[in-house]
Structure 1
Amino acid sequence: MARICLTLPTNRACAAAIAAVHEEAVHAAAHFGVEVHFLILDSAAAPDRAGHTAAVAGLPRVPGVVVHHLGEAEQRAFLTAALRRARAAGAERLLRLLLPDTVSYGACTDRAFLLAAALGCRSVHRRDSDSRYQTAGGRPVFPVHHELATLGLPAAEAARRVDADARGPLHGHLPVSLVGASFVGEMSVDIAAIHDLDPAVYHDVVSLWAPVHWPEERKRALVEESFKGAGTEPFGGDHAVLGAVDPMRVDMCNIALHRGVYETVPLPPATDTIGSDYFLLHLVHDATLPGVLHNRHIVNHHTDERKTGAGFTAYQLRFTKFLLSMRYFNFLYDELAAAGAALLDDRHRLRAAAVGELVARSTGLDRDENVMRLSALEIAYRKLGGRYAEFAGVLAARGPGLLDEARRDMADFALLIAAWEPLVRAAAATDVPGTDR
């Protein structure tokens, strides 16, 4: 029986999300004959983690569904054992990258990739704790329905299971490597309040993630579609398209990746950086690997901790670091697009070394663009006043350090790429804590 990993990383209380994703796991096992490993990666505070333990204990036992609830202690034990087995150089640094003491959207998913390898899974399906499923006819609309219908199949075969085929004529033999959709509801990045205060400042801020050489018209179009997902229209019936999946049309709360992707190249382990987990979407697209875009969008909502006090400051710093990361990612995306199918070897696998070389090259880019971004962001936030003006003071004080962090994050990514494939092989031979292999 084939195994898949349905994963829910979390650092907040989310008992309701655990119950909902478990329902999706049950649906997958019942309708697709797979063994679903529901993997909860729990970095929440102790009281919330205890609530999750109780929520897991209350889940019904269902044939074909195995639940793994791992706190950071268990995750650290697994990573330490895998790194030791891999005989990885710089193991302590790699452990810090994979399990940092602060938020990393890429690292938490990288841990899911390694644990999926240990569990013998053929794919990883990721959900988020601040989202929920749409419903139709009173029943949840599960994305896994489309994910398991096509993921991993040769594109020519997958074409018979979708509503539209937009792939190129030469891609029939390539495997479907990504299946995803977006979200409806609140914006993926919690900055709608900036638009409410001043739409012009909102444009100035959001446009900072575009390449600086883009014309104003193109930047305006980017601002218009950024972070809005699939809008607000509710689910009205299935529609799935096979082809090159635009990364702007997929969200990481609603994604499935085939092992041929994530066992070759990891996600950037950048800390305190929104959007650091989207790299593989671009890589799959630019390497000409087929994907499926469907419309079972997940409902996004924002939790309160990022709106006031220390939570507000922390969230705005993550957004700032996202803008700074684009100095490097814009370069990488241009290079990946230029390379195209040359990113694949003769077995249609991603060339990890080529990707790693590009990432390493990006660390030599000058910082002038990022100095400009920081200055423009500080000016914009001072215009908004109130808590945003206070945050502008934080930017003024921390700016030089943030510039260094953005560059260091890319160096860390290059290091992880170089160590990744041996680490995946080692993980596949490593026991998962609490699991009877």
Structure 2
Amino acid sequence: MHRVCLTLPTHRSCPATITAVAGEAAYGAREFGVEVHLLVLDSAAPAERAAHRAAVAALPPAPGVVVHHLDEDDQRAFLRGTVTAAGLDGADRLLDLMLPAGVSYGACTNRAFLLAEALGCASVHRRDSDSRYQLLGGKPVFPIHHELAVLGRRAADVAGSVTRSRLDPGCADRTVAVAGASFIGEPSVDLAELRALDPEAYREVVGLSVPVGHPEIWRRNLIDEAFRGAGDTPFTTDLTTLTLVSPARVDMCNIALGREVYGRVPLPPATDTIGTDYFLLHLVRHARLPGVLHNRHIVNYHTDERRSDEGFLAYQLRFAKYLLATPHLDAVYAELAAAGEALLGPDGLIRPAAVAAPLRASAGAGPTGNEDRLAVLDRRYRSLGGRYATAADLFAARRERLLAEARADMADFALLVDAWGTLTAHAKGAAVNHLPHLATAHAPAVTR
């Protein structure tokens, strides 16, 4: 049976989200006749993890759905088995990149990718713990509806079933590699308070994320649209577009990728850095692989933890590290854009070596200007006082470390890209040896 992986990585309390995503899994299995493996990757604290375990245990059996709830001990056992079986040098370093001590949006998704390979899945569908589904007529609007309808099919065969096509006919014989939408609700990056306190400071700070060289009118538009998703208009009817999907039009809480993408190249494993997990979306677009953009947007909201002083500082650090990663990634994206279809081999699949090369170049000499970015943050945040001045103190204390990490993160990513093909090849064997229930599970079942 065709298997897919619907994954929910989490490091916070989210029992209600687990229940809701299980509903989406049941919908996908029922409507499309596939086997949906709901994979909850749990890095939450013990009390929250216990609540998640209870939520999983309370899920009603659903035909075609297999639920896996893996804590970090489970994940580490699987990863160590995979790395050991792969026989690669630097096994401990690879394990650290796959399951770091800090929060890593890329690493948690990479773990889902490897586990999906172990389960024999054809695609990974990612959701987030701080989001929920829209309702239409009292029923949830599930993105998996469009994802399962198009992923893995020839673009030419999909063209007749979407609302519109904006795809170059030269890409018609290629497989649809990505399907996604955005969000409505609160901004994906929690900067609303900054914007309210000082709109000019907001524009200057957010402007640091815009690639150098954009015309001023484009810069203004990009700053105005940044992190705002699809606005606040609720869903009423489906709209689907076959196209080269722009990373700016989708959100990682509402995305699905085919294994021909994530089986070839992982995501950046950078810790405490938002935004880097969009890398594969840039890669897919630059390689001219077709995708479907739809409008079943998920509702984004901010948790109470984000509002606390500790949560605020943690998030501002992740935002600062994103701004420092941006010029490195922009340099890589420019190289990928220049390569275009040369990113693909004769088999039409992405060539990992073509991705690793610009990453190493960026980690070497790399782009300049990050010192200036930190100076802008320092000046603007200190002018706001309060928690922002405290964040500025944190950035100043870690200045050299932050600058070094922006370069090192690119080198780490290149290392992981080099190892990825070998890791994915050994994932299934590691699951059999270390988490046998993963390899042998059949629907309906609940594991752990």
Q: Shorter-chain TM-score: what band? A: over 0.9
Distance in 2 (CA, whole Å) between partners of 1:428 and 1:343 is 27
In the alignment, is the contact (CA less than 8 A) between 2:366 and 2:407 conserved in 1? no
Q: 1:375 to 1:367 in 2, by over 3 A?
A: farther
The aligned counterpart of 1:54 is 54
Distance in 2 (CA, whole Å) between partners of 1:92 and 1:98 is 10
The aligned counterpart of 2:68 is 68
The one-letter amino acid paired with 2:212 is V
In the alignment, is the contact (CA less than 8 A) between 1:150 and 1:161 conserved in 2? no
Query: Which structure 2 residues correspond to residues 400-419 of structure 1 after superposition, within 5 A?
Result: 400-419=400-419
The one-letter amino acid paired with 2:20 is A
Distance in 2 (CA, whole Å) between partners of 1:220 and 1:333 is 21
| SS across alignment from 1:431 | helix
Shift of 1:366: 4.4
Please say if 1:87 is aligned against 2:90: no
The one-letter amino acid paired with 1:278 is Y
Q: For each residue in 1:360-413, what CA deviation from the matched residue of structure 2 results, as whole angstroms up to 9, or x when unmatched?
A: 111123463100100011101011121101211111111111001111111100
Distance in 2 (CA, whole Å) between partners of 1:386 and 1:316 is 13
TM-score normalised by L of structure 1: 0.98
Runs of at least 4 residues of structure 1 off by over 4 A?
none
In the alignment, is the contact (CA less than 8 A) between 2:328 and 2:366 conserved in 1? no
In the alignment, is the contact (CA less than 8 A) between 2:34 and 2:64 conserved in 1? yes
The aligned counterpart of 1:379 is 379
Shift of 1:211: 2.3
The aligned counterpart of 1:267 is 267
Q: CA RMSD in A?
A: 1.0
Query: Which structure 2 residues correspond to residues 180-199 of structure 1 after superposition, within 5 A?
Result: 180-199=180-199
| SS across alignment from 1:187 | coil
Q: Bigger shift: 191-200 or 358-367? A: 358-367
In the alignment, is the contact (CA less than 8 A) between 1:179 and 1:292 conserved in 2? yes
The one-letter amino acid paired with 2:150 is T
The one-letter amino acid paired with 1:435 is L
The one-letter amino acid paired with 1:231 is G
Query: Which structure 2 residues correspond to residues 356-371 of structure 1 after superposition, within 5 A?
Result: 356-366=356-366, 368-371=368-371
The aligned counterpart of 1:2 is 2
Distance in 1 (CA, whole Å) between partners of 2:328 and 2:369 is 10
In the alignment, is the contact (CA less than 8 A) between 2:328 and 2:367 conserved in 1? no
Q: For each residue in 1:264-292, what CA deviation from the matched residue of structure 2 results, as whole angstroms up to 9, or x when unmatched?
A: 00000000000111000000001000000
Shift of 1:214: 3.1
The one-letter amino acid paired with 1:404 is A
In the alignment, is the contact (CA less than 8 A) between 2:124 and 2:257 conserved in 1? yes
Shift of 1:24: 0.2
Please say if 1:248 is aligned against 2:248: yes
The aligned counterpart of 1:102 is 102
The aligned counterpart of 2:446 is none
Shift of 1:435: 3.1
| SS across alignment from 2:66 | strand
The one-letter amino acid paired with 2:186 is E
In the alignment, is the contact (CA less than 8 A) between 1:328 and 1:365 conserved in 2? no
Shift of 1:335: 1.0
Query: Which structure 2 residues correspond to residues 134-283 of structure 1 after superposition, within 5 A?
Result: 134-283=134-283
The one-letter amino acid paired with 2:341 is A
In the alignment, is the contact (CA less than 8 A) between 2:3 and 2:35 conserved in 1? yes
Q: 1:349 to 1:436 in 2, by over 3 A?
A: closer
| SS across alignment from 1:76 | helix
In the alignment, is the contact (CA less than 8 A) between 1:176 and 1:291 conserved in 2? yes
Distance in 1 (CA, whole Å) between partners of 2:95 and 2:244 is 34
Query: Which structure 2 residues correspond to residues 304-383 of structure 1 after superposition, within 5 A?
Result: 304-366=304-366, 368-383=368-383
The aligned counterpart of 1:435 is 438
The one-letter amino acid paired with 2:69 is H
Q: Flag structure 1 segments of 5+ consecutive residues without an equivalent.
A: none
Please say if 1:289 is aligned against 2:289: yes
Q: Flag structure 2 segments of 5+ consecutive residues without an equivalent.
A: 441-448
Q: Bigger shift: 208-217 or 45-54? A: 208-217
